Amino acid sequence: MSAIFDKFINLLKWPVAVWALWSLPAFFQSLDYFDFKTLKFVALFGGFFLFFVARTSMDSSVRTSMQIIAHELAHSFFAVLTFHKVKHIRVADDNSGGSMGFEGEGNWLIIIAPYFFPLFCFFFMLGIGVYMKFAALNWIVSAVFGYFIGYHVDTVASQIHEKQTDLPKVSYLFCAMFLPGANLWIIGSMLAFNSTGWDGLGKYQELMVHLNMENLQTVVGLIFNS
C-alpha cells in the first residue's frame, strides 16, 4: 500500500509546486475577506507576539530540542499518513539534530512536511473542534492558538537554511516554488479557522480556488486579448 501511495504522491510533486506558486497572489487577495478588528483576531495576534516575547527568555537548548522533536514528529506523521511504519525517532544528545526511520522508500511529502505543516497547531485545532461542541470560540482560545502559530512560524523560519539536509533531497527549485505558497496557504487556513472553526477553514479553501480561477481567467484574457 505504501509503495502505491508513494508513486501517486511523487507524481503530484511538480503540479503541487506549480499550484503553490500560482496561489501566492490569491493568498494576499484573501486577506481582504478577514475582519482583523474582531476580538478573536486581536487575541490571536496578541498570542502570536507573546510567543516571541517568551522566546527571548526561553533556554536555547530547550527551544532547540523542542524544534528537533517537532521536526521529526512531522516527518513521522506524514510517514504514517502515507502508510509507512515508523521504526524510530531519535534526537542527538548534543541537540545537533535528529533522525527518524520508516519502512519503504518514502515520498517528497514526508521529506518536506516539517517545513510547512504546523503539527502542534493541527492537534490544537482538533482539540478546539471538540471544545466547540460544548462552547463557542472565544478570545482566550484564539490567544493560545496565536501562541502556537508563533511557535510554528519560528520553527519553520529556523529550519530553512543552506545546511539543511532535507531540502536538496526534493531540490531547491521545488522548495522555492512550493514552500512560500504552502506556508502562506497554511497561515491563511489557520486565520480562517480562527474566524469560524472548521467551517471557516472549508470556506477558505473554496475562496482560494475561486481566486485562483479568477486570476487564471485574467491572465488568459490578457494573453489572448493582447
Condensed to tens digits (0 to 9), the pLDDT of residues 166-216 reads 999 999 999 999 999 999 999 999 999 999 889 999 999 999 999 999 999
Whole-model pTM over 0.85: yes
Q: Where are the domains of the chain?
A: 2-7+38-210
Residue 60 buriedness (CB in 10 A; 0-12 / 13-18 / 19+)? exposed
Task: Quickly state the pLDDT bin for 143 (edges 50, 70, 90).
Answer: very high
CB atoms within 10 A of CB 131: 14
Tell me phi and psi for residue 32, to 5 degrees.
-65, -20
In angstroms, the CA 211 to CA 26 distance is 6
